[in-house]
Amino acid sequence: MLLWAGAACLFIIVLLIIILLSNVNMSIDYYYCNNSFDWDITVHCWGIMLWRNTGSKQTDEWEYVLQKLIDQLLNKDDLEQIFPAIKKTKQLIKIILPRIKIRDFYWETKMGTGDAASTGILTGGIWSIKGALGSFLKENCHFLEQPVIQVDPCFNEQQFESQFHCIAFMQLGKAMRIRKKYKQIIMQNQT
């Protein structure tokens, strides 16, 4: 009888270790074209879909949204509220990103203003933003394959199209620890 109890305990311990070391996979697909956002985010573990969020949204309010963002960035009171949120986000990023392994990363943007000069300037600006973000991710994440980041200027037409695809994973045990630390950070900032 004692032998069976020991074997059952050993089986449960081995099973827990296997579960905690198994990977949680996340796939993110995002596409923007002609004022339409389409996205598909899925989370899998052992081939079982744990969570999925898909959707599509039409928007004609880009100019309004951009102006509202600029107004908020120029407002001193709003900036004082943004800085604590940035600090909290920075703490979370330091916890999460080093534990993520990125298997596939593809981000392509096609854009044009209709004027070659302004398209060139905008292309350079987009490259600088994407380059900074790509460098940040390379420093803080582990890429299994070289990321693909592209900006394709369309000099003679007015267009903005962006496509993003990413597959990342982390161990389930690490995800559970991150969730615990996330709750601690949130609780610290509420008190």
Which stretches in the chain have pLDDT values below 70? 1, 59-86, 189-191
DSSP code per residue over 51-72: EEEEEEEE---HHHHHHHHHHH
Confidence at residue 13, expressed as pLDDT on a 0 to 100 scale: 85
Confidence at residue 103, expressed as pLDDT on a 0 to 100 scale: 93
The answer, as to whether pTM is greater than 0.85, is no
Domain of 64, in residue numbers: 24-190
Count of other CB atoms within 10 angstroms of residue 99: 14
Question: Domain total for the chain?
Answer: 1
Does some domain include residue 54? yes
Does some domain include residue 7? no
